[in-house]
Amino acid sequence: MTDFFKQFNLPMANAICYSGFRNGQQPGGIIPTYDEVKEDLLLLVPHWNYLRLYDCDAHALTVINVIRNEKLNIKLMLGAYIEAEMNNYGCPWGGIYSEDQLVENQKNNNVKIQKLIDWANQFPEIICAVSVGNEACVDWTDHFVSVDRVIEFVKKVKHHIKQPVTFCENYVPWLSQLKPLAEVVDFISIHTYPVWEYKHIHEAIEYTMANYKTIANHYPDKAIVITEAGWATNSNGRGIDPEHVNEINQKIYFDDLMAWSSKNKILTFFFEAFDEKWKGSSHPLEPEKHWGVFKADRTPKLVFEDR
Protein backbone atom coordinates (compact mmCIF):
# COMPACT_ATOMS: atom_id res chain seq x y z
CA MET A 1 0.00 0.00 0.00
CA THR A 2 1.50 3.33 -1.13
CA ASP A 3 1.29 6.18 1.38
CA PHE A 4 -0.26 9.24 -0.31
CA PHE A 5 0.91 11.66 2.37
CA LYS A 6 4.50 10.46 2.29
CA GLN A 7 4.67 10.22 -1.50
CA PHE A 8 3.54 13.81 -2.03
CA ASN A 9 5.04 15.27 1.14
CA LEU A 10 1.72 16.40 2.60
CA PRO A 11 0.69 16.37 6.28
CA MET A 12 -1.88 13.86 7.46
CA ALA A 13 -5.24 15.50 8.18
CA ASN A 14 -8.97 14.92 7.85
CA ALA A 15 -10.74 15.65 4.56
CA ILE A 16 -14.27 16.43 3.40
CA CYS A 17 -16.10 17.31 0.17
CA TYR A 18 -17.41 20.86 0.12
CA SER A 19 -20.10 22.44 -2.01
CA GLY A 20 -21.41 25.63 -0.43
CA PHE A 21 -24.59 26.16 -2.44
CA ARG A 22 -27.42 27.06 -0.06
CA ASN A 23 -31.19 27.14 -0.50
CA GLY A 24 -31.99 29.06 -3.69
CA GLN A 25 -28.43 28.69 -4.98
CA GLN A 26 -26.96 26.22 -7.46
CA PRO A 27 -24.08 25.79 -9.92
CA GLY A 28 -24.64 28.02 -12.92
CA GLY A 29 -27.02 30.24 -10.93
CA ILE A 30 -26.81 32.22 -7.71
CA ILE A 31 -23.63 31.33 -5.85
CA PRO A 32 -22.63 31.70 -2.18
CA THR A 33 -21.25 35.08 -1.14
CA TYR A 34 -17.82 35.64 0.38
CA ASP A 35 -19.35 35.91 3.86
CA GLU A 36 -21.38 32.72 3.39
CA VAL A 37 -18.29 30.79 2.31
CA LYS A 38 -16.34 32.29 5.22
CA GLU A 39 -19.06 31.12 7.63
CA ASP A 40 -18.85 27.62 6.15
CA LEU A 41 -15.08 27.36 6.26
CA LEU A 42 -14.92 28.59 9.86
CA LEU A 43 -17.32 25.74 10.71
CA LEU A 44 -15.17 23.22 8.84
CA VAL A 45 -11.58 24.16 9.64
CA PRO A 46 -11.61 22.90 13.26
CA HIS A 47 -12.35 19.42 11.91
CA TRP A 48 -10.93 19.26 8.36
CA ASN A 49 -7.82 20.67 6.71
CA TYR A 50 -8.37 19.18 3.24
CA LEU A 51 -11.41 20.15 1.17
CA ARG A 52 -12.42 18.75 -2.19
CA LEU A 53 -14.06 21.14 -4.67
CA TYR A 54 -15.76 19.88 -7.83
CA ASP A 55 -15.19 22.61 -10.39
CA CYS A 56 -12.96 25.57 -11.15
CA ASP A 57 -15.92 27.97 -11.14
CA ALA A 58 -16.80 31.25 -9.44
CA HIS A 59 -17.72 29.43 -6.23
CA ALA A 60 -14.31 27.75 -6.11
CA LEU A 61 -12.58 31.09 -6.63
CA THR A 62 -14.52 32.52 -3.68
CA VAL A 63 -13.35 29.57 -1.56
CA ILE A 64 -9.75 30.19 -2.59
CA ASN A 65 -10.04 33.89 -1.76
CA VAL A 66 -11.53 33.19 1.67
CA ILE A 67 -8.76 30.71 2.51
CA ARG A 68 -6.09 33.17 1.38
CA ASN A 69 -7.56 36.34 2.89
CA GLU A 70 -8.56 34.77 6.23
CA LYS A 71 -5.31 32.78 6.42
CA LEU A 72 -7.12 29.49 7.05
CA ASN A 73 -5.23 26.22 7.44
CA ILE A 74 -6.99 24.55 4.51
CA LYS A 75 -5.62 22.82 1.41
CA LEU A 76 -7.77 22.09 -1.64
CA MET A 77 -8.14 19.26 -4.08
CA LEU A 78 -9.55 21.26 -6.98
CA GLY A 79 -11.54 19.61 -9.75
CA ALA A 80 -12.63 20.45 -13.26
CA TYR A 81 -16.20 19.23 -13.78
CA ILE A 82 -15.97 18.03 -17.37
CA GLU A 83 -19.22 17.81 -19.34
CA ALA A 84 -20.53 15.16 -21.75
CA GLU A 85 -18.54 14.70 -24.93
CA MET A 86 -20.43 11.55 -25.94
CA ASN A 87 -24.01 10.37 -25.62
CA ASN A 88 -24.65 7.72 -23.00
CA TYR A 89 -27.75 5.73 -23.89
CA GLY A 90 -27.34 3.66 -20.71
CA CYS A 91 -27.87 6.59 -18.34
CA PRO A 92 -31.20 6.15 -16.50
CA TRP A 93 -31.88 9.91 -16.13
CA GLY A 94 -30.62 11.44 -19.38
CA GLY A 95 -27.21 11.62 -20.98
CA ILE A 96 -28.40 12.31 -24.55
CA TYR A 97 -27.37 15.58 -26.24
CA SER A 98 -27.40 17.19 -29.68
CA GLU A 99 -24.21 17.10 -31.71
CA ASP A 100 -23.95 20.87 -31.36
CA GLN A 101 -24.14 20.58 -27.57
CA LEU A 102 -21.45 17.89 -27.50
CA VAL A 103 -19.14 20.11 -29.57
CA GLU A 104 -19.85 23.03 -27.23
CA ASN A 105 -19.12 20.81 -24.23
CA GLN A 106 -15.75 19.84 -25.70
CA LYS A 107 -14.85 23.52 -25.99
CA ASN A 108 -16.03 24.18 -22.44
CA ASN A 109 -13.97 21.27 -21.15
CA ASN A 110 -10.84 22.64 -22.80
CA VAL A 111 -11.46 25.97 -21.06
CA LYS A 112 -12.01 24.26 -17.69
CA ILE A 113 -8.83 22.23 -17.97
CA GLN A 114 -6.83 25.34 -18.81
CA LYS A 115 -8.37 27.15 -15.84
CA LEU A 116 -7.43 24.19 -13.61
CA ILE A 117 -3.84 24.59 -14.78
CA ASP A 118 -3.85 28.35 -14.32
CA TRP A 119 -5.29 28.24 -10.79
CA ALA A 120 -2.98 25.44 -9.68
CA ASN A 121 -0.04 27.60 -10.71
CA GLN A 122 -1.53 30.80 -9.29
CA PHE A 123 -2.42 29.32 -5.88
CA PRO A 124 0.15 26.56 -5.19
CA GLU A 125 0.10 27.25 -1.45
CA ILE A 126 -3.63 26.40 -1.35
CA ILE A 127 -4.22 23.84 -4.12
CA CYS A 128 -2.40 20.64 -3.17
CA ALA A 129 -3.84 18.32 -5.87
CA VAL A 130 -6.16 18.49 -8.86
CA SER A 131 -8.68 16.22 -10.56
CA VAL A 132 -9.50 16.45 -14.27
CA GLY A 133 -13.04 15.15 -13.83
CA ASN A 134 -15.65 13.45 -11.69
CA GLU A 135 -17.60 10.26 -12.49
CA ALA A 136 -17.40 10.88 -16.23
CA CYS A 137 -16.49 7.35 -17.36
CA VAL A 138 -18.79 5.10 -15.32
CA ASP A 139 -21.54 3.43 -17.35
CA TRP A 140 -24.45 5.32 -15.69
CA THR A 141 -23.07 8.86 -15.99
CA ASP A 142 -24.92 11.71 -17.70
CA HIS A 143 -21.66 13.50 -18.56
CA PHE A 144 -19.87 10.78 -20.48
CA VAL A 145 -16.28 11.38 -21.62
CA SER A 146 -14.00 8.84 -23.26
CA VAL A 147 -11.07 7.40 -21.34
CA ASP A 148 -8.69 8.55 -24.09
CA ARG A 149 -9.91 12.12 -23.67
CA VAL A 150 -9.43 11.98 -19.89
CA ILE A 151 -5.91 10.63 -20.45
CA GLU A 152 -5.29 13.61 -22.74
CA PHE A 153 -6.42 15.96 -19.97
CA VAL A 154 -4.21 14.27 -17.38
CA LYS A 155 -1.12 14.45 -19.57
CA LYS A 156 -1.71 18.11 -20.39
CA VAL A 157 -2.23 19.13 -16.77
CA LYS A 158 0.75 17.12 -15.52
CA HIS A 159 2.95 18.87 -18.08
CA HIS A 160 2.06 22.31 -16.74
CA ILE A 161 1.73 22.02 -12.93
CA LYS A 162 3.70 20.66 -10.00
CA GLN A 163 0.79 19.28 -7.94
CA PRO A 164 -0.27 15.63 -8.28
CA VAL A 165 -3.04 14.93 -10.80
CA THR A 166 -5.89 12.43 -10.54
CA PHE A 167 -9.37 11.58 -11.87
CA CYS A 168 -12.25 10.84 -9.48
CA GLU A 169 -14.44 7.84 -10.27
CA ASN A 170 -16.49 5.02 -8.79
CA TYR A 171 -14.22 2.16 -7.74
CA VAL A 172 -15.59 -0.36 -10.29
CA PRO A 173 -14.27 1.17 -13.57
CA TRP A 174 -10.71 1.23 -12.22
CA LEU A 175 -10.70 -2.56 -12.53
CA SER A 176 -11.42 -2.54 -16.26
CA GLN A 177 -11.69 0.38 -18.69
CA LEU A 178 -9.67 2.82 -16.57
CA LYS A 179 -6.49 0.70 -16.53
CA PRO A 180 -4.81 2.90 -19.19
CA LEU A 181 -5.77 5.99 -17.17
CA ALA A 182 -4.32 4.46 -14.00
CA GLU A 183 -0.93 4.39 -15.70
CA VAL A 184 -0.82 8.17 -16.18
CA VAL A 185 -2.48 9.63 -13.06
CA ASP A 186 -0.25 10.38 -10.08
CA PHE A 187 -2.73 8.70 -7.73
CA ILE A 188 -6.05 6.88 -8.09
CA SER A 189 -9.22 8.36 -6.61
CA ILE A 190 -12.17 6.11 -5.84
CA HIS A 191 -15.76 6.54 -4.66
CA THR A 192 -17.37 3.98 -2.39
CA TYR A 193 -21.02 4.13 -1.30
CA PRO A 194 -22.27 1.02 0.48
CA VAL A 195 -25.74 2.51 1.00
CA TRP A 196 -26.21 3.05 -2.77
CA GLU A 197 -25.44 -0.66 -3.18
CA TYR A 198 -28.18 -1.63 -0.71
CA LYS A 199 -25.80 -2.50 2.12
CA HIS A 200 -27.02 -2.33 5.70
CA ILE A 201 -25.04 -0.19 8.13
CA HIS A 202 -23.62 -3.32 9.77
CA GLU A 203 -22.04 -4.29 6.44
CA ALA A 204 -20.93 -0.81 5.51
CA ILE A 205 -17.35 -0.36 6.71
CA GLU A 206 -16.37 -3.88 5.68
CA TYR A 207 -17.75 -3.19 2.21
CA THR A 208 -15.82 0.07 1.87
CA MET A 209 -12.66 -1.63 3.10
CA ALA A 210 -13.14 -4.36 0.50
CA ASN A 211 -13.66 -1.78 -2.26
CA TYR A 212 -10.47 -0.01 -1.29
CA LYS A 213 -8.39 -3.17 -0.92
CA THR A 214 -9.54 -4.48 -4.29
CA ILE A 215 -8.20 -1.37 -6.03
CA ALA A 216 -5.07 -1.17 -3.85
CA ASN A 217 -4.21 -4.79 -4.63
CA HIS A 218 -4.81 -4.16 -8.32
CA TYR A 219 -2.41 -1.19 -8.33
CA PRO A 220 0.16 -1.88 -5.58
CA ASP A 221 2.49 0.87 -6.78
CA LYS A 222 -0.14 3.62 -6.81
CA ALA A 223 -1.44 5.68 -3.92
CA ILE A 224 -5.20 5.24 -3.55
CA VAL A 225 -7.35 8.09 -2.20
CA ILE A 226 -11.04 7.82 -1.31
CA THR A 227 -12.45 11.03 -2.75
CA GLU A 228 -16.06 10.21 -1.83
CA ALA A 229 -17.57 8.02 0.87
CA GLY A 230 -20.63 8.91 2.87
CA TRP A 231 -24.03 7.98 4.25
CA ALA A 232 -27.33 9.72 3.48
CA THR A 233 -29.77 10.67 6.23
CA ASN A 234 -33.04 10.63 4.25
CA SER A 235 -34.50 8.84 1.23
CA ASN A 236 -37.79 8.71 -0.64
CA GLY A 237 -36.87 5.23 -1.82
CA ARG A 238 -35.19 6.31 -5.05
CA GLY A 239 -32.13 4.09 -5.13
CA ILE A 240 -31.76 3.87 -1.35
CA ASP A 241 -33.89 1.92 1.13
CA PRO A 242 -35.38 4.52 3.51
CA GLU A 243 -34.91 2.10 6.43
CA HIS A 244 -31.13 2.21 5.88
CA VAL A 245 -30.65 5.97 6.20
CA ASN A 246 -30.83 8.21 9.25
CA GLU A 247 -28.51 10.31 11.37
CA ILE A 248 -27.61 7.41 13.67
CA ASN A 249 -26.39 5.30 10.76
CA GLN A 250 -24.50 8.25 9.31
CA LYS A 251 -22.66 8.68 12.60
CA ILE A 252 -21.80 4.97 12.78
CA TYR A 253 -20.41 4.97 9.24
CA PHE A 254 -18.51 8.24 9.75
CA ASP A 255 -16.89 7.06 12.97
CA ASP A 256 -15.97 3.66 11.53
CA LEU A 257 -14.60 5.17 8.31
CA MET A 258 -12.51 7.80 10.06
CA ALA A 259 -11.06 5.29 12.52
CA TRP A 260 -10.08 2.87 9.74
CA SER A 261 -8.70 5.48 7.34
CA SER A 262 -6.73 7.25 10.07
CA LYS A 263 -5.21 4.01 11.31
CA ASN A 264 -4.15 3.07 7.78
CA LYS A 265 -3.11 6.61 6.70
CA ILE A 266 -5.62 6.71 3.85
CA LEU A 267 -6.68 10.17 2.69
CA THR A 268 -10.50 9.99 2.75
CA PHE A 269 -12.84 12.80 1.75
CA PHE A 270 -16.14 12.30 3.53
CA PHE A 271 -19.18 13.18 1.45
CA GLU A 272 -20.48 15.77 2.24
CA ALA A 273 -20.09 18.86 4.43
CA PHE A 274 -23.59 20.34 3.96
CA ASP A 275 -26.95 19.16 2.65
CA GLU A 276 -27.53 20.32 -0.91
CA LYS A 277 -31.19 21.15 -1.51
CA TRP A 278 -30.62 21.98 -5.20
CA LYS A 279 -29.74 18.39 -6.11
CA GLY A 280 -31.94 15.69 -7.59
CA SER A 281 -35.73 15.82 -7.89
CA SER A 282 -38.11 18.24 -6.20
CA HIS A 283 -39.12 15.62 -3.61
CA PRO A 284 -37.99 16.82 -0.16
CA LEU A 285 -36.69 13.35 0.78
CA GLU A 286 -34.73 12.91 -2.46
CA PRO A 287 -31.56 11.19 -1.20
CA GLU A 288 -29.23 13.41 -3.25
CA LYS A 289 -30.21 16.30 -0.97
CA HIS A 290 -29.29 14.64 2.35
CA TRP A 291 -25.59 13.68 2.59
CA GLY A 292 -24.26 16.54 4.71
CA VAL A 293 -22.92 16.20 8.21
CA PHE A 294 -24.48 19.66 8.59
CA LYS A 295 -28.00 20.53 7.47
CA ALA A 296 -28.63 23.15 4.80
CA ASP A 297 -29.19 25.75 7.53
CA ARG A 298 -25.68 24.91 8.86
CA THR A 299 -26.88 23.27 12.08
CA PRO A 300 -25.06 20.00 12.85
CA LYS A 301 -26.54 16.57 12.43
CA LEU A 302 -26.06 13.94 15.12
CA VAL A 303 -22.52 13.08 14.04
CA PHE A 304 -21.34 16.63 14.85
CA GLU A 305 -23.62 17.71 17.67
CA ASP A 306 -21.01 17.14 20.38
CA ARG A 307 -17.75 17.74 18.50
> Is pLDDT of 254 > 90?
yes
pLDDT of residue 1: 73
Where do the H-state alpha helices sit in the chain?
Answer: 4-7, 34-44, 58-70, 99-122, 147-160, 179-182, 201-218, 247-263
- Whether 137 and 147 have beta carbons less than 8 Å apart is answered as yes
Closest listed residue to residue 97, CA positions, set 106, 160, 256: 106
The confidence band for 68, taking pLDDT boundaries of 50, 70 and 90, is: very high
pLDDT of residue 2: 86
Number of domains in the chain: 1
As a whole number, mean pLDDT of residues 274-296 equals 96
Percent of the chain with pLDDT strictly greater than 90: 98
Distance CA 269, CA 265 (A): 13
As a whole number, mean pLDDT of residues 19-23 equals 97
Give pLDDT tens digits for 95-153: 999 999 999 999 999 999 999 999 999 999 999 999 999 999 999 999 999 999 999 99
Q: In this structure, how many other beta carbons lie within 10 angstroms of the beta carbon of residue 162?
A: 8
Distance CA 187, CA 167 (A): 8
Q: Across the chain, what does the average pLDDT equal? A: 97
The range of the structural domain enclosing residue 137 comes to: 4-304
Distance CA 271, CA 157 (A): 26
Output the domain CATH number for residue 159: 3.20.20.80
Percent of the chain with pLDDT strictly greater than 70: 100
pLDDT of residue 46: 98
> Is pLDDT of 293 > 90?
yes
